[in-house]
């Protein structure tokens, strides 16, 4: 099994492995309809979160298409999970990975998603040797659009009404960046809004 150099500490956050003690915090945001609406799925029950937590703590080999790494995000010095970052191996042969993030709305507007996603993207390019990193997001998720743009990702696609979200047809953006384009922390010191 591939092991990332965790934890990763940024200016304000710690990215670490999930533990069984994180169930309450994970369920607190994964069960919210307002969070799930941008994830193209229904809110998760406590039992679904428990099963997900077991899988997250076990990790994957990061060798085959579909393998993923999910890390908990906490405020530095704290233990409560405020969100998560997902890196999913989309194509092992082409070294392409998807990045995603989910945060509790109570911690929104602080730049945490950008800070954590930047750290995870750096891991993807340096340790996982990803060639292309992309994000898929609901076109109505303006917060995630801003995160992608702050990371220097370019919008590569706009799929119109490609998913039925309950009663609503949802569109999807795809943002991406390549390893040789990634600047990490260099030249990315714009204010976090």
Average pLDDT over residues 78-86: 96
Q: By percentage, how much of the chain surpasses pLDDT 70?
A: 94
* C-alpha–C-alpha distance, residues 24 and 163, integer Å: 30
Burial label for 193, CB within 10 Å (0-12, 13-18, 19+), is: exposed
pLDDT (0 to 100) of residue 192: 37
Please indicate whether residue 121 or residue 60 has the higher confidence score (pLDDT): 121
Confidence of residue 185 (pLDDT cuts 50, 70, 90): low
Q: If DSSP states are collapsed to H, E and C, what string results for the chain?
A: CCCCCCCEECCCEEEECCCHHHHHHHHHHHCCHHHHCCCCCCCCCHHHHHHHHHHHHHCCCCCCCCCEEEEEEEECCCCCEEEEEEEEEEECCCCEEEEEEEECHHHCCCCHHHHHHHHHHHHHHHCCCCCEEEEEEECCCHHHHHHHHHCCCEEEEEEEEEEEECCEEEEEEEEEEEHHHCCCCCCCCCCCC
Pairing state between β 8-9 and 13-16: antiparallel
* pLDDT tens per residue, range 146-175: 999 999 999 999 999 998 877 788 899 999
Whether the CA torsion 104, 27, 119, 86 is positive or negative: it is negative
Domains along the sequence of the chain with CATH: 8-133 (3.40.630.30)
């Amino acid at each position: 099994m591939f092991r990332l150099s965790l934890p990763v500490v940024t200016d304000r956050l710690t990215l670490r492995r999930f533990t069984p003690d994180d169930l309450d915090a994970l369920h607190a945001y994964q069960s919210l309809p307002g969070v799930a609406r941008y994830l193209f799925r229904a809110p998760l029950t406590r039992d679904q979160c428990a099963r997900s937590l077991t899988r997250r703590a076990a990790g994957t080999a990061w060798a085959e298409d579909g393998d993923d790494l999910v890390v908990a995000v906490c405020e530095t010095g704290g233990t409560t999970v405020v969100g998560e970052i997902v890196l999913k191996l989309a194509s092992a042969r082409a070294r392409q990975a998807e990045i995603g993030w989910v945060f509790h709305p109570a911690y929104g507007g602080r730049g945490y998603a950008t800070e954590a996603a930047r750290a995870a993207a750096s891991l993807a390019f340096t340790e996982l040797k990803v060639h292309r990193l992309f994000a898929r997001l609901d076109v109505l998720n303006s917060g995630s659009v801003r995160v992608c743009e702050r990371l220097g990702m370019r919008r590569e696609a706009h799929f119109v009404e490609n998913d039925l979200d309950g009663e609503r047809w949802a569109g999807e953006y795809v943002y991406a960046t390549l390893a040789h384009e990634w600047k990490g922390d260099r030249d990315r010191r714009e204010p976090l809004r």
